[in-house]
Amino acid sequence: MLFNKDRRLFLQTAAKLGLSAGALIIFEQACSNMVPTEEAVSLMPTSQPKLTPTLVPAQVIDSTSQTPVPYPTAGPTPMVGPTSQPEMAYPVNTPAVNKKVIDDPRVRMGHLLRRAGFGASKEEIDKHLSMGEAETISYLLDYDKSDDSEVESRIESLNLDLSDKLADLQRMAMLRMIYTNRPLQEKMVLFWHGLLTSGWKKVGKGPYMLQQDELFRSHAFGNYDDLLKAVARDSAMLIWLDSRVNKKNKPNENFARELMELFSMGVGTFTEEDVKESSRAFTGWSLKKKVFHFQENQHDFGVKTFLGNIGNYDGDDVVDIIMEQPVTSRFISRKLFEFFAYDNPEEEVIARLAKTFNDSGYSITALLKDILTSEEFYTQQAYRSKIKSPAELIAGTIRALGIESTVTYQVRKYMGPMGQELFNPFDVSGWPENEEWINSSTLLNRLNFVNAVAEGNRRHFDYDLVNMIDLKTVNETKDVIDYFVDILLDGEISEEEKGIYIAYLDGLLKGEDLQTGLTKDRLASLVYLVMSSPDYQLA
């Protein structure tokens, strides 16, 4: 996305400069007291050595001057936006710091289990640390070796109506994310639900959305051509993108277009003629008695010209031709890498993944394995580089704190306002990502959700906050902070942040000692603060 490039350029540049907010404030105050001349600039605080060399202006322009017109009044190179800058002042992909590989096994494990699943409790992290990273990756990939009957019985015990109640479907999906022993499989189900999406508001009641969910679960790791062919026959998809009414002589283009644009090749890689021709290949792919039905008399058996090929194609042929396009392997490699690791991956990463994908006969498992064992996945560039989706935030919080929950309305009610009503995305493009998850309304609801968790109403979030921490192990405030920051933030916070937490808890304790002063309310307030923090919003 274009917006990402802009933001990344800015953030990476800022990171390279090593700017902290503290430094910025000092700098701001200094500047506001100064006349902006060369001499004044040379007086800027020397305690920020990294700032000065880069920000010292080569030439000072009076800020009241009208001369430096910020935007050209005409001409082909407007100034707004990096793509219009032929020569970047700063390279986009550099800061060596970002390429740094994370060393700490505990941080690596926290990152792995968060990205390739929905996070983990302290006990789970410990368990996987003793298993080792390689074993853990195998555990995640060979998911069918793990018994998942416990989550099935949790779901069964609630007598959910998974055909006709959207809320029950959402409840089922959340329960799986929280309590599954196959976290990567559930993560892939969420991924496919976002990519090959359909939505309740058009598909409606019936077994459709549940069947699609099951399709994604059974095909979570399979070959991509098989998945696309199955999705083209999936009842919910047949309704969502109108294939069921795609008729000979007057085809409906909806599915064919999105198959290429959103599911496999990407915008701008095919022509309007390709849309029209491939929609003919899917004519007659209809729905009868709620399941896929090939309606022969509505299928166009004529010759089609599609992506430079000519033949009497049907829908499966169209998928096969799509899979042969070099853009397809790059498209799906990028989608998966960005979902698991970081945005805007380097060209060599995409090329490598695309090769892995093609060499393996379009295997999603092969792609996942490549990504999760790659060095890039464990770099600082990947670490906390994504915004948690609401599903990740909710499932991850409940998992991390070991909370018992049946995902009642009091839990689910935050999902919609956070922007992710499962099984009911905004439109055909599936779920938002990263910065799109954050605005004043969604952030406020994230904070309200973690407040509900911290308060810990037993009926909705059953856990024992007070006895979670063993008071015998804490000697000073810092130990309490460390305990919760370890569980919730991989123990990774800056000294400045740690200072804020310590001061906050000390303020609550009002001089009482830890053994008696750590009441439920105070602990709840601390946990609220950690989970409301900017770090916690990041995956």
| Residue numbers 68-107 binding another protein by CB under 8 A | 68-75, 78-85, 89-90
Question: Which residues from 379-398 bind another protein, rule CB under 8 A?
Answer: 384-387
Compute the C-alpha angle 105/532/519, nearest 5°: 90
Q: Which of 327, 438, 468, 474 binds another protein (CB under 8 A)?
A: 438
7-11, long-range: CB within 8 Å, 24+ apart, which pairs? 7/435, 8/92, 8/343, 8/344, 9/82, 9/88, 9/90, 9/92
Based on CB atoms, which residue is closest to another protein, 60 or 466? Answer: 60
Based on CB atoms, which residue is closest to another protein, 131 or 509? Answer: 509
Q: What is the nearest approach in angstroms of another protein to the Cβ of residue 148?
A: 32
In this structure, the number of other CB atoms found within 10 A of the CB of residue 443 comes to 15
**DSSP state letter for 363:** B
Distances (CA, A) of 264 to 73, 238, 267, 336: 40, 17, 10, 12
Instruction: Name which of 483, 135, 155, 137 is nearest 340 in CA terms.
Output: 137
447 makes contact with another protein (CB under 8 A)? yes
Question: Which residues from 31-60 bind another protein, rule CB under 8 A?
Answer: 31-32, 34, 36, 55, 57-60
Q: What is the nearest approach in angstroms of another protein to the Cβ of residue 529?
A: 6
What letters, b where the CB count within 10 A reaches 16 and e where it falls short, cover 453-491?
bbbbeeebbebebeeebeeeebeebeebbbbbbebbbbe
Based on CB atoms, which residue is closest to another protein, 252 or 309? Answer: 252
Spatial separation of the C-alpha atoms in residues 523 and 506, rounded to whole Å: 12
Q: Site size for another protein, by CB under 8 A?
A: 119
- Beta strands at 291-294 and 285-288: parallel, antiparallel or unpaired: antiparallel
Question: Which residues from 202-241 bind another protein, rule CB under 8 A?
Answer: 241
* Binding window for another protein (CB under 8 A); candidates: 113-121, 344-352, 394-402, 434-442: 434-442
* Binding window for another protein (CB under 8 A); candidates: 154-162, 185-193, 461-469, 500-508: 500-508
Based on CB atoms, which residue is closest to another protein, 186 or 490? Answer: 490
Spatial separation of the C-alpha atoms in residues 98 and 354, rounded to whole Å: 23
Based on CB atoms, which residue is closest to another protein, 75 or 149? Answer: 75
Q: Which of 204, 503, 512, 519 binds another protein (CB under 8 A)?
A: 503
Question: Which residues from 327-366 bind another protein, rule CB under 8 A?
Answer: none
Q: What is the nearest approach in angstroms of another protein to the Cβ of residue 472?
A: 27
Q: What is the nearest approach in angstroms of another protein to the Cβ of residue 268?
A: 7
Q: What is the nearest approach in angstroms of another protein to the Cβ of residue 356?
A: 27
Q: Which of 61, 291, 310, 471 binds another protein (CB under 8 A)?
A: 61
Q: Which of 372, 454, 465, 523 binds another protein (CB under 8 A)?
A: 454
Which H or E element spans position 416? helix 415-418
Based on CB atoms, which residue is closest to another protein, 36 or 302? Answer: 36
Residue 411: which region, alpha, beta or left (left: phi > 0; alpha: psi -120 to 50)?
alpha
Q: What is the nearest approach in angstroms of another protein to the Cβ of residue 283?
A: 9
Taking the CA atoms of residue 368, residue 373, residue 374 and residue 380 in that order, the dihedral angle to the nearest 10 degrees is 110
Instruction: Name which of 196, 188, 191, 229 is nearest 212 in CA terms.
Output: 196
Question: Which residues from 13-32 bind another protein, rule CB under 8 A?
Answer: 13-22, 24-25, 27-28, 31-32
Structure tokens at 236: 């919910």
Q: What is the nearest approach in angstroms of another protein to the Cβ of residue 319?
A: 20
Instruction: Name which of 96, 100, 122, 97 is nearest 109 in CA terms.
Output: 122
Q: Which of 93, 252, 305, 360 binds another protein (CB under 8 A)?
A: 252
Question: Which residues from 137-166 bind another protein, rule CB under 8 A?
Answer: none
In this structure, the number of other CB atoms found within 10 A of the CB of residue 68 comes to 8
Residue reference for tokens 């009241």: 64
Based on CB atoms, which residue is closest to another protein, 151 or 281? Answer: 281
243-247, long-range: CB within 8 Å, 24+ apart, which pairs? 243/282, 243/285, 243/286, 244/285, 244/286, 244/287, 245/286, 246/279, 246/282, 246/283, 246/284, 246/285, 246/286, 246/298, 247/283, 247/284, 247/298
Residue 485: strand, helix, or coil: helix
Q: Which of 53, 123, 250, 511 binds another protein (CB under 8 A)?
A: 250
Based on CB atoms, which residue is closest to another protein, 44 or 160? Answer: 44
Q: What is the nearest approach in angstroms of another protein to the Cβ of residue 17?
A: 7
Based on CB atoms, which residue is closest to another protein, 16 or 352? Answer: 16
Question: Which residues from 394-433 bind another protein, rule CB under 8 A?
Answer: 416-417, 419, 426-429, 432
